[in-house]
Structure 1
Amino acid sequence: MTQINKSASVAILIVVIVVSLIYLKSIIVPLILAAIFWLIVVEVRTMISKLISLKDAKMPVWLQNLFASIMIFSILFVVVKLLSLSIQNLSESMSHYDGNLQKMEDKINAVFDINITKSLNKMVGNTNFTSLLRTVLSSVTDLFGNAFTILLYVVFLLLEESGFGHKIRAMYPESNDQESVIKLLERVSKTVSSYLTLKTFVSVITGVLSYFVLLFVGIDAPFFWAAIIFLLNYIPTIGSLIATLFPSAFIVIQTGEPSVGLLVLIAVGAIQVVIGNFVEPKMMGNSLNVSGLVVLIALAFWGTLWGVIGMILSVPITVLMIIVFAEFESTRKIAILLSEDGNIGKPQIRNLEGKE
């Protein structure tokens, strides 16, 4: 009976957590994004402190934070500005796309002697490309809708950072407990920030190379599509596939020439294959230690809960779960199940559960 009650309590807790994640999305997602930006600021701050060193004095943390924040948000401002211009250009060109789509449809009907519109309508119903593109553009602009909230969270995280140590000491009076918790937090911070830094670097390389390919073929708003490729590159497994198909399909609709779409598909696809199979593994290695099946399940789960943002955050959240679960005996088996090789190291803070 005790085991049944325990299982029922766990099931209820899981349901409560999932429902909370769904209904508190507008609060939790900006907070997670702010935490990610904070980790990036810390990473950049560390690099700045190494590059800019005073003779015998250490640069103040607040000055490091200021330099790192100005650098990051300046880059973000430029990117958002360029994206806004690209989206505006796409919006102004929308009226031409449906006409090109009609011409391409007529060519296909003439060559294969079929009515492609009638066939497609049976499968997917009536679809207007212009309205579909507007939906995509609206989804992209929504990603920047919470920018002020995220910025506010980042500022307060930076302000609260100096008091973290004092709060940990107050929560865990024993020095052994303090050391264990600090090691856990440092491990989480280092692993997640390293992943984000390397993934961002790889995504930038992929986006820049794709931009030059798209610029060469003359696609409308190449920066917009390069930014989409950069963003989708954070989504494991299917992100690179979607990032290759999007501009390829769009250039066909823009020009009415399938051969141009095939060229983009091959060129951008080759970039994704080389970066994904050679450059990224070389840089990141197997440091994440996450099962491939777990990545797919996490992708589906967080994507269902939070959409595109959930897909992007699926790997960092899973890595964090493995690290935290590995530190406690009661959840250690879950961490082993989520890992790739079962090697998750020795727990550091079992004593917090009262176990020596």
Structure 2
Amino acid sequence: MISINKVTSISLLLVIIVVSLIFLKSILVPLILATIFWLIVVEVRTLIGNLLGSDKNKIPVWIQNILATLTIFAIFFVAIKMLSISIQNLTESLSHYDGNLVLIEDKVNNLFDIDITTSLNKMIGDYNFTSLLKNILTSVTGLFGNTFTIILYVVFLLLEESVFGDKLVKIYPDAKEYQAVVKMIAKIGNSVSSYLTLKSFVSLLTGVLSYMVLKLMGIDAPFFWALLIFALNYIPTIGSLIATLFPAFFTVIQFADLSSGLIVLLSVGVIQVIIGNLVEPKVMGNSLNISGLVVLIALAFWGALWGVVGMILSVPITVMMIIIFGEFESTRPIAIILSENGNIGTTIRESEKE
């Protein structure tokens, strides 16, 4: 039977952790994003190393790091350049959309024989859609605010990588403990890297197909909406829903036509359903081993703490928690609860004994 003192201690510890996560957000979020970016650099470095035959040609790791980083930044530069052009084109068309809102109100009034204008004015008053869209665009461009901090973290992570193994040897002089820690870190890295790689592929496929639909429909700034769809697909469950609604809603505003918005909604929705229910399960399988309910709870929890970034990071953080908790007897029950089917395998220490 659990004592009152133990319950109090656990509750107090949880409160301290949550409060710390809130107050240390400005430090932890860039650090976690930098760690993920570092894992991406490692993946690209491995790919470049295989293409160049680094084992045979003895290409130094630091050169591979530079090539991988330059490749990633080149992709980011092209994407940001195209995004800025899309945002500029979208901004230039903003004044046209306010007039379309009036046309939409008239169409809804005539279609349903109601006075929606009066109701809308009561709910939102003199609300300006142009201001709303400008705020959205400002928020999107503001996501790059911590770029310098993240880059700085990545540089030092790459520098630390070469000596981290030596530090672990000194921290864990016992060979078995050292191997167990190294394998646990490798397991975390492989799981998160695998998730990011496969999720990026699925999100990219969704974004490309959505771009083709939006371009065919003549939607303004299709690259902006496709990139938004790509980014939102990293948010489990609700991300794909929001990614479908945004371009559909914008289409109605652009053309002042409900049928055009419905076509985009159905087209992008079909793409999301096919990829989400057929392609993604085949590609990702059960490699993550996370309960669907836990994904929703993690999404809500990390979203409440860190906003949109927390939602995107909710799955990688949960994966790391399952792996780490599964390695210790005291926290192993938590890992079993978080997992999909309760099967988290034996700990690395137990497998070594066998």
Question: How far is 1:190 from its partner?
Answer: 0.2
TM-score by length of 2: 0.95
What does residue 77 of structure 1 align with? Answer: 77
Question: How far is 1:184 from its partner?
Answer: 0.1
Length, aligned pairs only: 351
Deviates more, 1:43-52 or 1:293-302: 43-52
DSSP 3-state at the match of 1:192: helix
DSSP 3-state at the match of 2:49: helix
* Identity percentage of aligned residues: 67
Change (3 A) 1:258 1:320: same
Using the alignment, how far apart are the partners of 1:203 and 1:163 within structure 2?
A: 35
List per-residue Cα deviations over 1:75-103 (Å, max 9, x = no partner).
01111111112112212211111100111
Change (3 A) 1:297 1:124: farther
Question: How far is 1:119 from its partner?
Answer: 2.5
Using the alignment, how far apart are the partners of 1:43 and 1:54 within structure 2?
A: 14
Using the alignment, how far apart are the partners of 1:115 and 1:100 within structure 2?
A: 17
* Equivalent position amino acid for 1:19 in 2: V
What does residue 229 of structure 1 align with? Answer: 229
Change (3 A) 1:109 1:182: same
* Equivalent position amino acid for 2:74 in 1: S
Q: CA RMSD in A?
A: 1.7
What does residue 111 of structure 1 align with? Answer: 111
Change (3 A) 1:330 1:55: closer
Using the alignment, how far apart are the partners of 2:10 and 2:141 within structure 1?
A: 38
Using the alignment, how far apart are the partners of 1:121 and 1:82 within structure 2?
A: 37
Question: How far is 1:59 from its partner?
Answer: 2.2
Using the alignment, how far apart are the partners of 1:325 and 1:54 within structure 2?
A: 36
Q: What are the equivalent positions in structure 2 for 1:92-241 lying under 5 Å apart?
A: 92-122=92-122, 127-241=127-241
User: Does the Cα contact within 8 Å between 1:298 and 1:315 map onto a contact in 2?
Assistant: yes
What does residue 58 of structure 1 align with? Answer: 58
List per-residue Cα deviations over 1:21-68 (Å, max 9, x = no partner).
112211111111000000011111111121211574432111111111
Using the alignment, how far apart are the partners of 1:126 and 1:177 within structure 2?
A: 66
What does residue 38 of structure 1 align with? Answer: 38
Which 5+ residue runs of structure 2 have no aligned equivalent?
none
* Equivalent position amino acid for 1:43 in 2: E
DSSP 3-state at the match of 1:87: helix
What does residue 325 of structure 2 align with? Answer: 325
List per-residue Cα deviations over 1:154-190 (Å, max 9, x = no partner).
1110011001101111111111110000000000000
User: Does the Cα contact within 8 Å between 1:206 and 1:229 map onto a contact in 2?
Assistant: yes
Which 5+ residue runs of structure 1 have no aligned equivalent?
352-356
User: Does the Cα contact within 8 Å between 1:206 and 1:275 map onto a contact in 2?
Assistant: yes
User: Does the Cα contact within 8 Å between 1:328 and 1:349 map onto a contact in 2?
Assistant: no
User: Does the Cα contact within 8 Å between 1:329 and 1:350 map onto a contact in 2?
Assistant: no
Question: How far is 1:252 from its partner?
Answer: 0.4
* Equivalent position amino acid for 2:295 in 1: V
DSSP 3-state at the match of 1:302: helix
Question: How far is 1:134 from its partner?
Answer: 1.7
* Equivalent position amino acid for 2:327 in 1: E
Change (3 A) 1:253 1:51: same
* Equivalent position amino acid for 1:331 in 2: T
DSSP 3-state at the match of 1:76: helix
Change (3 A) 1:55 1:14: closer
Deviates more, 1:330-339 or 1:132-141: 132-141
Change (3 A) 1:7 1:54: closer
* Equivalent position amino acid for 2:117 in 1: T
List per-residue Cα deviations over 1:264-285 (Å, max 9, x = no partner).
1111111111111111111110
Mapped pair 1:297 → 2:327: no
* Equivalent position amino acid for 2:230 in 1: F
Using the alignment, how far apart are the partners of 2:55 and 2:341 within structure 1?
A: 46
Deviates more, 1:113-122 or 1:216-225: 113-122
* Equivalent position amino acid for 2:45 in 1: R
Question: After TM superposition, which residue ranges in structure 1, 4 or more long, deviate above 4 angstroms?
Answer: 121-126
What does residue 259 of structure 1 align with? Answer: 259
* Equivalent position amino acid for 1:174 in 2: D
